C-alpha cells in the first residue's frame, strides 16, 4: 500500500453538471455548470481547513467530492495515499465510508425522525459490523458522554423531535465519531442553531477534533467562524480556490482582491469599528460560460489587460500561502 504524509490530496478536482437534458443538448456546445473547476489542496493528519465563499462558489460540492458523494468530472483524489476515484470493490468503499464522516448543516433533518437516538447511533455499528451487543451499548454510551450528552441513558429512548437543536447536533457529531473516523467534513455545522448554543457546539468540535487528531474540513460562509475553527482558510470563487493560507495570516493580510472585499464586508459586532468595505460590483458571472483570463476580472477593482487574457497561476507567495492573482506574483 502506498504511504503518504497527507490524509487528503486533492488535485485539480472538477465537477461539471450538464445543464440541459440530453435530448435537447446541441452537439459540441459547452453547456456545463462548472461547480468545481480545478480545486487542489493537501491536508496532513490533524490539520483543519475552512472553505469559504459566497453561495454557489462550489464549496459544498467540494465537500461532497471529499466524501465521495458525487463523482468527479476530472482530477484526482488520494485519501491516505489511496486513489479514491478508482475504488470499486464494495468493501473498499465501505472502509472509506467508515473513515470519512460528515456533520450536517441541519441537525433537525440529519437524524431519522422514526429512530430513537440510540437506534441512530447503533446504525453505523450495524453497518460496519463493529462490536458485540454489549460492547455496542458501551460504545454508544461512551460516545454520547464524549459529546457532553450526560447521562447518556436519559437520551437513549428519545426521538429527534424531543430534543433541542444543540443536542441534536451533538448526536450528529456522536454518530460521526462512533466509527472512529480519520477525516470529517462539517458543512455549515452551526448555521441552523441559535447563537447562544453555537459556541458550545463549536468548542466541542474543536476540542474533540484536536484530541482525536482528526483531519477536518469546515464549509462555511462565515469567515469569523472559520478563523476560530481552522488552521487554514481557502477562499473559493466560481469553483476555484483564489487564495489559501494559514487562517490568521490570510485574514489579517489578504492578498487576493476578492479575499480583501470579502473580509472587509464581514460585519463586526463592535459599533466603534467603522465598516468600510471594499466596494466591488455585484455581477457574479454565470459559472456556465466563463470568459478567458481571470475569473474575477469583471468585479476586480485592480484589473489589468493581462487579467483579461491570461488566467493567473495559483502560486505560493509565502510558506503555505497561495494566491491566484497576477498582481500577487511580483
Q: In the range 164-193, which residues lie near other proteins by CB under 8 A?
A: 164, 166, 172, 175, 179
Among 4, 73, 76, 106, binds other proteins (CB under 8 A): 106
CB of 162 closer than 8 Å to CB of 150:
no
Of 42, 119, 136, 321, which lies in the binding site for other proteins, with binding defined by CB under 8 A?
Answer: 119
* Options 42, 82, 97, 321; binder of other proteins; rule CB under 8 A: 97
Options 86, 273, 292, 330; binder of other proteins; rule CB under 8 A: 273
Tell me the closest approach of the beta carbon of residue 201 to other proteins, in angstroms. Answer: 8
- Least separation, in Å, of the C-beta of 125 and other proteins? 10
Which one-letter DSSP state was computed for residue 284? P
Instruction: Give me the sheet containing 82-83, strands edge to edge.
Output: 32-44, 6-18, 74-79, 82-83
The answer to whether 65 contacts other proteins (rule: CB under 8 A) is no
Q: Do 169 and 187 touch, CB atoms closer than 8 A? A: no
C-alpha cell at 61: 460540492
Separation CA 163–CA 169 (nearest Å)? 10
DSSP H helices in 45-106: 59-66, 90-99
Contact with other proteins (CB under 8 A) among 280, 300, 307, 324: 280
Measured from the CB atom, the residue of 24 and 28 that comes closer to other proteins is: 24
Number of residues that bind other proteins (CB under 8 A): 73
Indicate left, alpha or beta for 43 from its phi (over 0: left) and psi (-120 to 50: alpha): beta
Rounded distance between C-alpha atoms, residue 303 and residue 221, angstroms: 25
What is the closest distance, in whole angstroms, from the C-beta atom of residue 113 to other proteins in the complex?
A: 7
Interface segment toward other proteins; rule CB under 8 A; list 6-14, 18-26, 161-169, 209-217: 161-169
Q: Which of 83, 109, 135, 207 binds other proteins (CB under 8 A)?
A: 109
Q: Residue 266 and residue 222: Cα distance in Å, rounded? A: 8
Min CB(173)–other proteins separation in Å: 12
The answer to the question of residue 242 lying near other proteins (CB under 8 A) is: no
* 7 DSSP β-pair partners: none
Choose, by CB under 8 A, the member of 21, 28, 271, 292 that binds other proteins. Answer: 271
**What 3-state class would DSSP assign to 145?**
helix
Q: Shortest distance, CB of residue 56 to other proteins, whole angstroms?
A: 9
* C-beta separation of 157 from 165 below 8 A: no
Residues 221-240 close enough to bind other proteins by CB under 8 A: 221-225, 227-228
The answer to whether residue 49 forms part of the interface with other proteins (CB under 8 A) is no
Q: Edge to edge, what strands does the sheet with 215-219 contain?
A: 100-103, 183-187, 215-219, 48-52, 232-237, 240-246, 321-324, 314-318
Among 101, 215, 216, 297, binds other proteins (CB under 8 A): 101
Q: Of 13-21, 26-34, 72-80, 260-268, which part binds other proteins (CB under 8 A)?
A: 260-268
Residue 321 as a binder of other proteins (CB under 8 A): the answer is: no
Amino acid at each position: 500500500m502506498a504511504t503518504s504524509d497527507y490524509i487528503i490530496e486533492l488535485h485539480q478536482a472538477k465537477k461539471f453538471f450538464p445543464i440541459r437534458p440530453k435530448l435537447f443538448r446541441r452537439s459540441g456546445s459547452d453547456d456545463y455548470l462548472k461547480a468545481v473547476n480545478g480545486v487542489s489542496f493537501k491536508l496532513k493528519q490533524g490539520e483543519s481547513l475552512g472553505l469559504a465563499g459566497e453561495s454557489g462558489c462550489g464549496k459544498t460540492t467540494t465537500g461532497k467530492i471529499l466524501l465521495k458523494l458525487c463523482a468527479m468530472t476530472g482530477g484526482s483524489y488520494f485519501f491516505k495515499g489511496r486513489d479514491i476515484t478508482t475504488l470499486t470493490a464494495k468493501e473498499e468503499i465501505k472502509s472509506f465510508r467508515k473513515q470519512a464522516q460528515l456533520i450536517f448543516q441541519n441537525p433537525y433533518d440529519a437524524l431519522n425522525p422514526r429512530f430513537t437516538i440510540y437506534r441512530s447511533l447503533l446504525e453505523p455499528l450495524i453497518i460496519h459490523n463493529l462490536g458485540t451487543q454489549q460492547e455496542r451499548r458501551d460504545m454508544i454510551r461512551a460516545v454520547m458522554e464524549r459529546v457532553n450528552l450526560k447521562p447518556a441513558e436519559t437520551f437513549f429512548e428519545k426521538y429527534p423531535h424531543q430534543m433541542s437543536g444543540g443536542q441534536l447536533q451533538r448526536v450528529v457529531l456522536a454518530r460521526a465519531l462512533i466509527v472512529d473516523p480519520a477525516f470529517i467534513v462539517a458543512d455549515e455545522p452551526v448555521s441552523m442553531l441559535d447563537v447562544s448554543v453555537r459556541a458550545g457546539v463549536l468548542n466541542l468540535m474543536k476540542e474533540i477534533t484536536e484530541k482525536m487528531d482528526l483531519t477536518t474540513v469546515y464549509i462555511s460562509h462565515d469567515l469569523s467562524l472559520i478563523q476560530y475553527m481552522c488552521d487554514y482558510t481557502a477562499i473559493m470563487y466560481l469553483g476555484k480556490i483564489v487564495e489559501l493560507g494559514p487562517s490568521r495570516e490570510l485574514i489579517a493580510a489578504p492578498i487576493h482582491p476578492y479575499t480583501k472585499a470579502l473580509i472587509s464586508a464581514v460585519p463586526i459586532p463592535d459599533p466603534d469599528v467603522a465598516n468600510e468595505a471594499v466596494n466591488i460590483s455585484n455581477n457574479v458571472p454565470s459559472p456556465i460560460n466563463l470568459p478567458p483570463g481571470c475569473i474575477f476580472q469583471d468585479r476586480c477593482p485592480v484589473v489589468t489587460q493581462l487579467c483579461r487574457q491570461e488566467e493567473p497561476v495559483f502560486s505560493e507567495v509565502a510558506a503555505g500561502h497561495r494566491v491566484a492573482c497576477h498582481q500577487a506574483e511580483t
